[in-house]
Chain A
Amino acid sequence: MKKNWPILVVDDEDVMCESMGAWLREDGYRVDTAPNGQKALELAKAMDYAICFVDLKMPGGMDGIETMMEIHRVRPEASIIIITAYATVDTAIQAMKEGAQEYIVKPCNPQEISMLVSRILKLKKLQSENAILRKKLSRQYRHCDIITKNPRMEEVLALTQDVASLRSTVLIRGESGTGKELVARAVHFSGNRADQPFICVSCAALTETLLESELFGYEKGAFTGAAAQVKGKFERADGGTLFLDEIGDISPKLQADLLRVLQERRFYRVGGNEEVVVDVRIIAATNKNLADEVHQGKFREDLYYRLNVIEIRIPPLRDRREDIPLLAEHFVQRISSELGKEVTGISAAALKVLIANDWPGNVRELENVIERAIVTCRNGMLDEQDFSWLQPAEKSSQNWDAPDVTLGELERRAIVAALERKHGNVKEASSALGIDRSTLYDKLKRYEIVH
């Protein structure tokens, strides 16, 4: 196992390299030696050394500090231990300033060096474990874990990558179950805030007062039962990302409060008079058409524009049916393993049934359907019969609240929906709507639809 932590000894004296190398090899380390900085750099380029012992004084060419800096350039993770025969405070300070992890004076006690090496490697092991765990955590939300071969979804993924490291607010739109939170996590974990908190709040799940306390926290005595100061989600997300799900459902008062935080990056806890300053990136999500909500006076226009700096629209599953077999296979593998039930796959006939379904509950519904089928499955393969209970959805009219809207509004919505389906392609949208392009342009002007 110690061989996983190779060590480099750099010293112009052969006897030093030889004896130090031999001593460390006895301890089970893989040790390389270099007589000068140039050779050390060559070796460091080829091998990821955990520790480099570098002699401070090497005649001709690079000295110890230069060698250390060059090694750090190619191997920033390597721990450099500067060795010197001349103990001066100045050189020690310089070495540490330039990035040496330790500074030892030769000759030193065997115990000292043995403890030094094991202390550094213990730290490295913890760092490496930490990195692995972080990687595992972030891998849960990587782009490649969003399974798709649909061009529109691929555009969504490319966009999440592009905006990941920006501070700009992101508004994710998509029907329920399309994976808005997954996309929000992908944005967070791909960006420079990945090692900071990602905090989720479902705005629809809480009443106005509860949501206010939840978001902004409260002071002791702010209301009955507020026994101590409690930090809200904004404070807990400081440095990271706050994901506000179902943002379209928040009350007008909270809309105003949220607008203030977005503008000023500061707020008061409930019952508090001390301003709290935070650095939080907001990602909001909704399954509503916020532009419509603004139009109807239900959502503040200024807040809408604050939130809608970058918009990511996730298409519903019925518009990316080519993803259904991929997602189904993925869910079969994952859920069967979680349930400990051996189901190896899904038949072509079953896939046909799934592809034909309209999935009003989108990917989440597909996942639930697969889970139910696995639970009741009697052989190792999901077949058509396992989905016999899945009724073909009636042709959806869910977006068409015909009784409540004017004919004009109905037409406006049909145009917006067609443009969305066709990614803003007017030619294709007009064809889908059964009208010609010039008529569609007229209607776009009339309804002031910007696409």
Chain B
Amino acid sequence: MNGLYLVPLGNVPANALEWIESATAEWFPLPVRRLPSLPIPEDAFDTKRGQYQSVEIMKLLARHAPHDADRVLGVTDVDLAIPMLTFLFGQAQFDGSVALVSLCRLRQEFYGLPPQESLLRERTVKEVLHELGHTFGLVHCAQPACAMSLATHIASVDAKAQKYCERCGMQLLHRFTSREEKV
């Protein structure tokens, strides 16, 4: 049976992986399987920017995807970026099989604030739903409260709910019930 594979990249707290497993099981009718952690490739590190190039990590995930994987979701604690943008909360192959989420900028500590686990959990779930949503063909949603709305700063992540709006949710459901996405 195919499934959604969860891949920690580098050191990722175990509780974060549990939050993700629980949230994905709630929204996606795919068995969630955890794979052993992969080391982050050194060449993904951009010394000038002190950040990791997300494209390189995405390639690594694609290379390590099991043959029976429907989706591979990478989770990391390092700060991600692409050449054009100063940072990313996560990235996904649109209508593809690979997604990546970084916890780095979801942590209160990144903004010089004391850690807050419950908030980190909420933010992680939102970003996981967002990036996996892209892999199922969902584009950014105009509803600020929908998990699929575009978040360009942490306040816009906090403005989202830990769920899809009705329209995006229905689109996702349609995807699962249509012939192309039989699971």
Complex contact A28–B55 (CB within 8 A): no
A2 to B141, CA, bound (A): 12
Rounded to whole Å, the gap between the CB of B136 and the closest CB of chain A is 12
Q: Give the segment of A105-113, A126-134, A208-216, A223-231 that binds chain B.
A: A105-113
Given known contacts A22-B91, A26-B139, A26-B140, A110 and B86 CB-to-CB distance under 8 angstroms = yes
Given known contacts A28-B139, A111-B153, A20 and B82 CB-to-CB distance under 8 angstroms = yes
A400 in the interface (beta carbon within 8 A): no
Complex contact B85–A110 (CB within 8 A): yes
B contact residues around A13 at 8 Å (CB) = 83
A57 in the interface (beta carbon within 8 A): no
A contact residues around B55 at 8 Å (CB) = 15, 18-19
B contact residues around A110 at 8 Å (CB) = 85-88, 152
B1 in the interface (beta carbon within 8 A): no
Complex contact B140–A19 (CB within 8 A): no
A355 in the interface (beta carbon within 8 A): no
A contact residues around B86 at 8 Å (CB) = 107-110
B172 in the interface (beta carbon within 8 A): no
B: contact size bracket = 20 to 34
A426 in the interface (beta carbon within 8 A): no
Complex contact A113–B140 (CB within 8 A): no
A20 to B88, CA, bound (A): 12
Complex contact A107–B88 (CB within 8 A): no
A298 in the interface (beta carbon within 8 A): no
Q: A94-114: contact bitstring with B at CB < 8 Å (1 yes, 0 no)?
A: 000000000000111111011
A25 in the interface (beta carbon within 8 A): yes
B contact residues around A19 at 8 Å (CB) = 54-55, 82-85, 91
B92 in the interface (beta carbon within 8 A): yes
Rounded to whole Å, the gap between the CB of B169 and the closest CB of chain A is 17
Determine chain A's interface SS by DSSP, over half rule.
helix
Complex contact B134–A26 (CB within 8 A): yes
B contact residues around A20 at 8 Å (CB) = 82-84
Complex contact B152–A16 (CB within 8 A): no
A83 in the interface (beta carbon within 8 A): yes
Q: A1-28: contact bitstring with B at CB < 8 Å (1 yes, 0 no)?
A: 0100000000001011011101101111
Rounded to whole Å, the gap between the CB of B79 and the closest CB of chain A is 12
Complex contact A111–B83 (CB within 8 A): no
A contact residues around B84 at 8 Å (CB) = 16, 19-20, 23, 83, 106-108, 113
B182 in the interface (beta carbon within 8 A): no
Report the nearest B residue to A16, measured CB to CB: B83
A contact residues around B140 at 8 Å (CB) = 26-28
Rounded to whole Å, the gap between the CB of B100 and the closest CB of chain A is 11
B150 in the interface (beta carbon within 8 A): yes
A52 to B140, CA, bound (A): 21
Which residues, 178 to 237 on A, are CB-close (under 8 Å) to B?
none
A20 to B94, CA, bound (A): 12
Report the nearest A residue to B130, measured CB to CB: A26
Complex contact B83–A15 (CB within 8 A): yes
Report the nearest B residue to A107, measured CB to CB: B86
Between A19, A25, A27, the greatest number of chain B beta carbons within 10 A of the residue's beta carbon is seen for A19
Report the nearest B residue to A83, measured CB to CB: B84
B53 in the interface (beta carbon within 8 A): yes
Report the nearest A residue to B139, measured CB to CB: A28
A83 to B93, CA, bound (A): 23
B179 in the interface (beta carbon within 8 A): no
Given known contacts A19-B83, A26-B134, A110-B88, A2 and B49 CB-to-CB distance under 8 angstroms = no
Between A2, A23, A106, A114, the greatest number of chain B beta carbons within 10 A of the residue's beta carbon is seen for A23
Given known contacts A16-B84, A28-B140, A110-B88, A22 and B94 CB-to-CB distance under 8 angstroms = yes
B81 in the interface (beta carbon within 8 A): yes
Which residues, 121 to 158 on B, are CB-close (under 8 Å) to A?
134, 139-140, 150, 152-153
Complex contact B49–A107 (CB within 8 A): yes
Rounded to whole Å, the gap between the CB of A120 and the closest CB of chain B is 16
A111 to B153, CA, bound (A): 7
Which residues, 40 to 92 on B, are CB-close (under 8 Å) to A?
49, 53-56, 81-88, 91-92
A28 to B92, CA, bound (A): 13
Complex contact A111–B54 (CB within 8 A): no
Report the nearest A residue to B96, measured CB to CB: A22
A110 to B54, CA, bound (A): 14
A26 to B152, CA, bound (A): 13
Between A26, A83, A106, the greatest number of chain B beta carbons within 10 A of the residue's beta carbon is seen for A26
Rounded to whole Å, the gap between the CB of A19 and the closest CB of chain B is 4
Rounded to whole Å, the gap between the CB of A20 and the closest CB of chain B is 5
Known: A16-B82, A23-B84, A109-B152. 18 other contacts (CB 8 A): A13-B83, A15-B55, A15-B82, A16-B84, A19-B82, A19-B84, A19-B91, A22-B93, A23-B82, A25-B139, A26-B139, A26-B150, A107-B81, A108-B84, A108-B85, A109-B85, A111-B153, A114-B152
Residues in chain B within 8 A of chain A (CB atoms): 49, 53-56, 81-88, 91-94, 134, 139-140, 150, 152-153
Selected A-B contacts with CB under 8 Å, 19 pairs: A15-B53, A15-B55, A19-B83, A23-B82, A23-B85, A25-B139, A26-B94, A27-B139, A27-B150, A28-B139, A107-B82, A107-B83, A107-B84, A107-B86, A108-B84, A109-B86, A110-B86, A110-B88, A113-B84
Q: Which 8 A-B pairs have the closest CB atoms?
A: A28-B139, A19-B82, A111-B152, A25-B94, A110-B152, A16-B83, A107-B86, A20-B84
